[in-house]
């Protein structure tokens, strides 16, 4: 005598939960198109998924006067005034940018970075008082990003000027970052300028046991006599 297997209690509950969530997905909109659009756009920002975008949108709606209105004004002002610096390629509201205009900076040194975020990180650390050059990415032949797609021509031009004595390649320690650094080193060679790159190795506060083999190998290779 065979008895048909009855679904377990847990199975029944999980099926019921699936039905409810299906129903919810098919339910009517909960906000007007403007708010839906706001959430969709916020969700495109790096670090924000749909859930965080909804939270951010809700915060903006609840704090209309102190957050939403000033943010909307700041966005409109940014759209109007942001320009790419013709000298270094960074973004600012003045051209040349604030850094390129700053007379107190050492103009004999150019720090080359991939993105604006890298420039900001170096400025936050306040470790060097030089000028910058923002490439706008790294070489990536597989994605069709060749030298002509990056801000390289103006770098070679700048490096050829008499004022510049050193170019520091502060590129990411990734395959693409390092192959970009290699390419730039070759391109800069005819100018006779000093080209250096950031040191690689043990980070401040780093415990050897936690480091990956690549970092340890780089640290041993770049060891210093004390």
- In sequence order, the β-bridge partners of residue 133 are 112
Please identify, using beta-carbon distances, which residue of 42 and 122 lies nearer to Zn ion: 122
From candidates 39, 42, 53, 87, binder to Zn ion by CB under 5 A: 87
3-state secondary structure 116-143: HHHHHHHHHHCCCCEEEEECCCCCEHHH
Does position 119 interact with Zn ion (CB under 5 A)? The reply is no
Window 93 to 112, contacts with Zn ion (CB under 5 A)? 96-97, 100
In the complex, least distance from residue 110 CB atom to Zn ion, rounded to whole angstroms:
11
Residue 88 near Zn ion by CB under 5 A: yes
Nearer to Zn ion, 97 or 184 (CB): 97
* Owner of token pair 């839906």: 36
Rg over alpha carbons for the chain, rounded to the nearest Å, is 26
Assigned token pair, 174: 């990734």
Q: Which is nearer to Zn ion, 100 or 122 (CB)?
A: 100
53 binds Zn ion (CB under 5 A): no
The one among 38, 39, 53, 85 contacting Zn ion by CB under 5 A? 85
On whether the CB atoms of residues 95 and 85 are closer than 8 A, the answer is yes
Q: Which of positions 8-47 make contact with Zn ion (CB under 5 A)?
A: none
Q: Cβ-count burial of 132 within 10 angstroms (0-12 exposed, 13-18 middle, 19+ buried)?
A: buried
Residues in contact with Zn ion by the rule CB under 5 A: 85, 87-88, 96-97, 100
């Amino acid at each position: 005598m065979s008895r048909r297997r009855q679904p377990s209690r847990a199975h029944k509950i999980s099926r019921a939960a699936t039905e409810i969530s299906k129903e919810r997905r098919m339910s009517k909109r909960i906000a007007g198109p403007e708010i839906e659009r706001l959430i969709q756009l916020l969700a495109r920002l790096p670090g924000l998924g749909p859930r965080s975008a909804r939270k951010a949108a809700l915060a903006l709606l609840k704090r209309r006067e102190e957050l939403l209105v000033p943010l909307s004004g700041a966005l409109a002002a940014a759209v109007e005034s942001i320009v790419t610096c013709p000298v270094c390629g960074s973004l600012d509201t003045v051209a040349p940018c604030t850094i390129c205009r700053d007379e107190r900076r050492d103009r004999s040194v150019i720090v080359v970075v991939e993105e604006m975020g890298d420039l900001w990180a170096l400025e936050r650390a306040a470790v060097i008082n030089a000028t910058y050059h923002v490439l706008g990415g790294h070489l990536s032949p597989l994605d069709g990003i060749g030298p002509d797609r990056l801000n390289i021509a103006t770098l070679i031009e700048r490096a050829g000027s008499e004022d510049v004595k050193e170019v520091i390649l502060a590129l990411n320690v990734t395959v693409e970052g390092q192959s970009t650094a290699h390419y730039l080193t070759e391109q800069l060679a005819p100018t006779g300028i000093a080209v250096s790159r950031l040191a690689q190795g043990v980070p401040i506060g780093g415990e050897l046991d936690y480091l990956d083999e690549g970092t340890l190998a780089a640290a041993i290779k770049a060891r210093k006599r004390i």
